[in-house]
Structure 1
Amino acid sequence: MNARMRKKKGTMDDESESDASPISIVANLLAAPLRVVVSKQAQKAYIGTALFASTSIVLLCISTIAYWIFYINFVPQIGFERVVHLQFGNGYPWGTALLESELASLQPYDVSVTLQLPRTPSNLAAGNFMLDLALFSQPTSSAATSANASTALISHSRRPAILTYASPLVDTANRITRMPLYVTGWQREAETLDVTMMEGIEFAKGWRNLPRSLRFEIQSEERMQVYSAKVRFAARFTGMRWVMYNWRILSFLVFSSMFWGVSMIWTTISWLFLSSVFRSGKTESERDIEKEDQGDKQIKTESDEESSDGVSAGGEEIKKEEVGESTRLASILGEADDEGDGGRQSRTTGARHRPGAGTSQRSGSSWGVQRRRSRVLGGDDDGFSVD
């Protein structure tokens, strides 16, 4: 029996040694990184990283577009101008022009008028003349309406202007010097006047408080000759508008980063909240299925541990069983001998003795020992002899 157990144990040791061969060890070492790469945790990490990167890119694009829209709405044009087509006839020369949405509320503007006047005798004889400029919230219904009579007037200003004086000698020398330019057409005998009409004017909030049209008029006793007239609006930036206009790249990086960071924080908070809600919303059946799966895994693990522990503990259990059986066999044999002595004593005293009683008891006890040993050995029906 001990030899058979040693043989089985040796067979199992050979199998374990064959399993732990160098080739299998090398294969396991090479496959270990691959198992880590394709594991479920790694797949979850890949999906999470891809979602995070795509969300970051999308939010970065949204931040860029948002800053561009904010810049257009918050920072107005630094300057623009409108050409005024003067009307001549009865009264002073005058003209109107429409203003679109270039102007912004609470933004200081400098308004100026640019006139190009020829140096004609009438213009030189006019001396000082007045420039009249009025801003309206809505286009005027009639072009002949006076600026002061309009009920939608927002701002009004009158400023003086005059051509530069030159003595006859200086004027003659200047004309002779520039004669080639006048002949070739590169210059003409004209003077450009730039007259500031309004300084730092601001408009209150609301679209009704922003100018949508203007009316310009030249007031002079003499009949004026004019080449062209323009009204120019120049924004005077202060505070954040000045920073955003003069430091455009830095402002773009700072404000876009701030918008992107706030968006990422709120997206992360929303993601965590939704994940917690979905986790807590699992049904009882899903939880029972998970518990059953965990129980099956635990049972499988325990069975594997028992099978591995049974190999090492089987030899000790068999040895203990053999010692117990030997002890019980010795006690049975002793009782049988005692019964045999008692039978012989009964024959001497006249009592009848039944032949074969000790032998039957010994055979019965031996058969019981053999059955128990067969159960211990797992169904092995080999014979058992008692020395």
Structure 2
Amino acid sequence: MEAHLTNEELDELSALAESDQFHVVPDHTGNDTYSTTSTQDLMRRGDPDAPFTEASNAPTPFLVTLVAKVFLLLRPLFAIIFSPRVQRTVVRTAFLTIALSWIVSVACSAYIAFYMAHVPKTAHIEPVYLQYEKGMHPMALVDLTKKGTYTKPLRHEQQYTVDIVMNVPSSEINFDVGNFMVRVDLKSADDKTVAFSSRPSILRYESALHRILAVFARALLLLLGLSKETQVLVVPMMEHFVEDQAHSVTKAVVSVSDSRLQVYSMQLHMVADFHGLRYYMYNHRILTAMVFITLFICIELSFATVAWRLFGYTLWTRISQWADSVEKDGAGGYTDANSEKDPLIAGVESASEKSDQADDDD
């Protein structure tokens, strides 16, 4: 018997076929396990707030066992590291390290400051520019203050050696000049002459034959510009000069007696002549530094010991007592030998036992 559908029923079937809002659900009648599991899964999918079952959340037995073993192995190490005795030792070691580092750094800084204050500048070397004027001796004014940078260039209790260094050509004119005089006047800021000195000088004698042979021997170097026919004259002007503290030297006047003298360059050298402690501090720096730094460390340790006996020990005892009281109040008998196990370790052991029991049941 054929069933005849109306036009409305045919339209509803066509609309249902074109729509995707339907699912094919297989029939599992008789399979109770599958039905129960499928029902639970569908409930979880439909309800996001539905709790997961214990089986879905339980960690793997191997992972639980591994974590438990690791905690059991590391528990003695943690007990040693976090014990009160070890903590006190660490605190004391850190305190001593910081204190010793501070003492050594202060000693080094003290020696550096002492060296800079006690040892003056070694040498003052200034160029001299001679002024050649008609009817006057060549003369130059030398400023020792570096254009006002130093108000007192020299140390008033220090001895100095004053020299004039001249670089002159080995010319016939200079040989003909013969002896000439060099004068140095040291003046204060108010243009008062503090000290002066006049010393003679002369070029080293060279015969005509000697000069000819010397030119032949250095012919190639002279042609290449690697050598010059010059002489360097060092004229010592003053020895053991000590500056007057009331009249500090700020400038020097240098003059030459003969205007025929040909000069390439000239310099004024004022070199400190160290004696006593300054001599050792400058010429034996490492040894002196070690001795003084050790002395400063001993002095600091002496004062630190006195301060510890008077104030530090009492303060440290009070801090230790306060730390012990806080530790006892917070521990609550946890460190006792018969106390309960660590909750974290107990939880891991319980999970491990449950995992082993589940394996035995399987």
Query: What is the TM-score normalised by the length of structure 1?
Result: 0.54
Does residue 92 of structure 1 match 2:129? Answer: no
What does residue range 240-319 of structure 1 map to in structure 2 within 5 Å? Answer: 240-275=277-312
1:183 aligns to what?
A: 223
Q: Deviations over 1:298-330 (max 9, x none)?
A: xxxxxxxxxxxxxxxxxxxxxxxxxxxxxxxxx
Does residue 219 of structure 1 match 2:219? Answer: no
- Letter of the 2:168 partner, please give it: L
Q: Deviations over 1:150-191 (max 9, x none)?
A: 42x222111011122333333333333333332221222222
What does residue range 1-387 of structure 1 map to in structure 2 within 5 Å? Answer: 43-90=87-134, 91-100=136-145, 103-138=154-189, 150-151=191-192, 153-204=193-244, 206=245, 208-220=246-258, 222-275=259-312
TM-superposed deviation, 1:63: 1.3
Alignment CA distance shift 1:234-1:121 (3 Å): same
Q: Distance in 2 between matches of 1:180 and 1:34?
A: 83
TM-superposed deviation, 1:60: 0.9
Tell which deviates more after alignment, 241-250 or 102-111. Answer: 102-111
Q: Distance in 1 between matches of 2:295 and 2:219?
A: 62
TM-superposed deviation, 1:115: 0.7
Q: Distance in 2 between matches of 1:50 and 1:179?
A: 72
Alignment CA distance shift 1:129-1:36 (3 Å): same
TM-superposed deviation, 1:280: 12
Q: Deviations over 1:5-59 (max 9, x none)?
A: xxxxxxxxxxxxxxxxxxxxxxxxxx99988976656644543332222011012
Q: Distance in 2 between matches of 1:176 and 1:261?
A: 67
TM-superposed deviation, 1:193: 0.8
Alignment CA distance shift 1:63-1:209 (3 Å): farther
Query: What is the TM-score normalised by the length of structure 2?
Result: 0.58
TM-superposed deviation, 1:118: 1.9
Indicate conservation of the 8 Å contact 1:133/1:158, yes or no: yes
Taking every aligned residue pair, what percent have the same amino acid on both sides?
27
Alignment CA distance shift 1:88-1:44 (3 Å): same
In the alignment, structure 1 segments of 5+ residues that lack a partner are 1-30, 141-149, 282-289, 291-387
In the alignment, structure 2 segments of 5+ residues that lack a partner are 1-74, 319-324, 326-362
TM-superposed deviation, 1:244: 1.7
Q: Distance in 1 between matches of 2:83 and 2:208?
A: 99
- Match of 1:76, SS? coil
- Match of 2:249, SS? coil
Alignment CA distance shift 1:272-1:171 (3 Å): same
Q: Distance in 2 between matches of 1:229 and 1:158?
A: 16
Indicate conservation of the 8 Å contact 1:134/1:157, yes or no: yes
Indicate conservation of the 8 Å contact 1:99/1:213, yes or no: yes
Alignment CA distance shift 1:276-1:219 (3 Å): same
TM-superposed deviation, 1:253: 1.3
TM-superposed deviation, 1:114: 0.7
Give the number of the structure with larger relative contact order, counting CA–CA contacts within 8 Å between residues 6 or more apart: 2
Q: Distance in 1 between matches of 2:280 and 2:294?
A: 16
Indicate conservation of the 8 Å contact 1:56/1:264, yes or no: no
- Match of 2:286, SS? helix
* Alignment RMSD (CA, Å): 3.5
- Match of 1:212, SS? strand
